[in-house]
Amino acid sequence: MTPSRSTLVRTALGRGLRKRCPHCGEGRLFSGWTHIERCAVCGLVFVGNPGDTWAFAILGDRLPLAAMIVVIYFGAGRLPRLLGLTTLAVLGALVLWTAPNRWGAGIALHYLSRLYWPDPADPIPPLPGTAADPEPKENGQGNG
Angle at which helix 63-74 crosses helix 81-116, to 10 degrees, equals 160
Q: Compute CA distances 65 → 3, 61, 68, whole Å.
A: 34, 6, 5
Give the pLDDT band (50/70/90) at residue 6: confident
What are 114-123's pLDDT values in tens digits? 888 888 888 8
d(CA 88, CA 97): 14
pTM: 0.72
pLDDT for 140 beyond 50? no
d(CA 74, CA 105): 28
For position 21, what pLDDT does the model report?
A: 93
Name every residue whose Cβ is closer than 8 Å to that of residue 77 and which is 6 or more positions away in sequence: 84
Give the pLDDT band (50/70/90) at residue 49: confident
d(CA 8, CA 15): 11
CB 108 within 8 A of CB 22: yes
